[in-house]
Amino acid sequence: MCESAHRSSGSHAVPRKYLTSVLVNLCKYLNLLGILFLLKLAQHLQRSSAKNRCFLESAMDKVISQQVLQQRKRKQWLLAGAALLFICGASWGVNRIATQSASLSELRVSEVRIGQVDNTINASGVVIPVHEEQISSPAQTRIRKIIAKAGQTVKAGELLMVLDDQAVRVAIDNLREQISQQDIRVQTLSNELEAQLKRIASEIELLELDLQSNKVKLARYQKLGATGITSQVDLQAAELAVKRNEVQLRQHRESLVDTRKTTSSNIESARLQRSIFQKQMELQQSLLEQTQVKAPFDGLLTWAMTDEGSSVNTGQLIAKVSELNNFRVEASVSDFYARYLSPGQAVRVEYSGQVIKGEVQTILPEIQNGTVKLLVSLAEPHHAALRHKLRVETNIITDQKDKTLMVDIGPAINGKGRQEVFVIDNGKAVKRSVEFGVNDGKHAEIIAGAAIRSGDKIIVSDVSKFKHLDSFSVR
């Protein structure tokens, strides 16, 4: 029946599409016919079994051998099996003929062309700001008032929240008092030094006068001693008085120097202590200013604490401000590819059909949970499609093939290596062996193929139902 239908359709030049429709319908009809035949056969066997039982009961006086009954049953089953086999074979044949063609609209076809194919490593990326500043608490305190909320656009110097500054103010007052005390001490030491220097200077003047007087007396005794008028004892006493005055004068002059050094050292120590207190006060004043938490630059408040009155420790994170329109990408890739990565590699960042070029800026040394993280700088960091925390597809280019045969990727192409694909040639899809090379997830390089050249059309959609064929018709 299948052969007569095929010959009839060929003789009358029925259109291909109509012939396929007829064959498919015929296949469905044969399948339905097979099901009905099985039902009828079951009914027939049931009736035959009933008749045999009745025959045995009515012919009790006749003896029928068991072998005759088994032959009858075997004959019936053989006829049923032969009929079923014929119907299934006819159905398979018609279905095979019907599936040896496909509509072009049902297939995805890619034209072979010459171009550039990149070998890429696919990574998951997240858009992050180039500059993000984390604001921490300047001291152990509490949040007194919250003014701005996360997600709000802020200007440089805009107030975000207010921290309690009472402890800082008390510390500033104490430091101010200690600075005043050191000022008083410096002044006191300076006054004492001046008084001591004056006293020692006066004593030195008096000693100089005594020395001059004793020298005059010694000179007179020496003259008188030469004439024998004065005694030797008086001359020695005059000499000792001069020496004593010289020693006292030397001691006072040394005392003057020592007093000046000692008092000056005490004054410098007091001034140094004052300087330390002054720096501490400047630090506290800086902390006082930081209790007014302000935006460091124009941007977006990406995170901030929300509970007024909550306690915060020194250095605890209280807010984050990031640049509004200046982004880069943080990409994560399996550590298996770590050896293929290097700074400066070209990168394609894709989102919603848009491609932004970039390059690997930094590869972070730490591996976490089997993944390597890298920072990608973008050629267009201010692109309108970029948003904070946006997930993007990141392709790291490790190799490029220029002016090579290429074709679009599809289910029919499975990675690298030699594969069998169908090439459309004069209305037929012909199976050919093609070796594929690098691919970037969208395009694959054709290294070698049986007469594959630029302009050929390869079916890249799923053609697994035609894999048993060497060719099939394309409508």
**CATH number, domain at 468?**
2.40.30.170
Q: How far, in Å, CA of 428 to CA of 13, rounded?
A: 19
Count of domains observed in the chain: 4
Q: How far, in Å, CA of 220 to CA of 204, rounded?
A: 24
| 253 lies in the same domain as 232 | yes
pLDDT at 105: 81
pLDDT at 7: 33
Phi, then psi, of 42 in degrees rounded to 5: -60, -45
pLDDT at 60: 45
C-beta of residue 235 within 8 angstroms of C-beta of residue 221: yes
pLDDT at residue 1 is higher than 50? no
Q: How far, in Å, CA of 234 to CA of 298, rounded?
A: 97
| 66 lies in the same domain as 124 | no
How many percent of the chain have pLDDT more than 70?
Answer: 78
pLDDT at residue 233 is higher than 90? no
Helix, strand, coil percentages for the chain (3-state, nearest 5): 45, 30, 25
Summarised one tens digit per residue, pLDDT across range 380-437 is 999 989 988 899 999 999 888 888 888 888 888 887 888 888 888 888 888 888 888 8
Summarised one tens digit per residue, pLDDT across range 18-72 is 454 555 566 556 656 666 665 666 666 556 555 555 544 444 444 445 665 566 6
| 452 lies in the same domain as 390 | yes
Mean pLDDT computed over 7-12: 34
At 119, the pLDDT band (50, 70, 90 cuts) reads confident
Summarised one tens digit per residue, pLDDT across range 338-371 is 999 999 999 999 998 899 999 999 999 888 899 9
| 341 lies in the same domain as 455 | yes
For the chain, the straight-line distance linking the first and the last C-alpha, in angstroms and rounded, comes to 25
| 465 lies in the same domain as 335 | yes
| 363 lies in the same domain as 445 | yes
Which residues, 6+ apart, have CB-to-CB distance to 354 below 8 Å? 383, 385
At 151, the pLDDT band (50, 70, 90 cuts) reads confident
pLDDT at residue 135 is higher than 80? yes
pLDDT at residue 212 is higher than 60? yes
The token duo for 340 is 């293929």
| 54 lies in the same domain as 140 | no
Among 239, 268, 290, which residue terminates a domain?
Answer: 290
101 pairs with which residues across the strands? 473
pLDDT at 16: 44
Give which of 383, 425, 474 is closest to 103, Cα–Cα: 474
pLDDT at 84: 64
Which residues, 6+ apart, have CB-to-CB distance to 123 below 8 Å? 331, 332, 333, 374, 394, 395, 396
CATH code for the domain in which residue 204 is found = 1.10.287.620
| 348 lies in the same domain as 311 | no
Q: At what angle do helices 232-290 and 166-227 cross, to 10 degrees?
A: 170
Q: How far, in Å, CA of 408 to CA of 470, rounded?
A: 22
Higher per-residue pLDDT: 414 or 85: 414
* Max CA separation in the chain (angstroms): 203
Give the CA distances from residue 283 to residues 65, 273, 287, 288, 289, in Å, rounded to whole numbers and listed in that order. Answer: 120, 15, 6, 9, 10
| 342 lies in the same domain as 469 | yes
| 22 lies in the same domain as 88 | yes
What range defines the domain where residue 40 resides? 2-98
User: Between β-strands 346-351 and 471-474, what pairing exists: parallel, antiparallel or unpaired?
Assistant: unpaired
Q: What pTM value is reported for the model?
A: 0.55
| 228 lies in the same domain as 368 | no
pLDDT at 143: 93
pLDDT at 433: 85
How many percent of the chain have pLDDT more than 90?
Answer: 33
Q: How far, in Å, CA of 194 to CA of 440, rounded?
A: 88
CATH code for the domain in which residue 310 is found = 2.40.50.100
Give which of 396, 384, 397 is closest to 352, Cα–Cα: 384
| 335 lies in the same domain as 451 | yes
The token duo for 100 is 């040896």
391 pairs with which residues across the strands? 126
pLDDT at residue 211 is higher than 50? yes
Among 98, 115, 146, which residue terminates a domain?
Answer: 98
Quickly tell me which residue has 């500059």 as its tokens.
Answer: 131
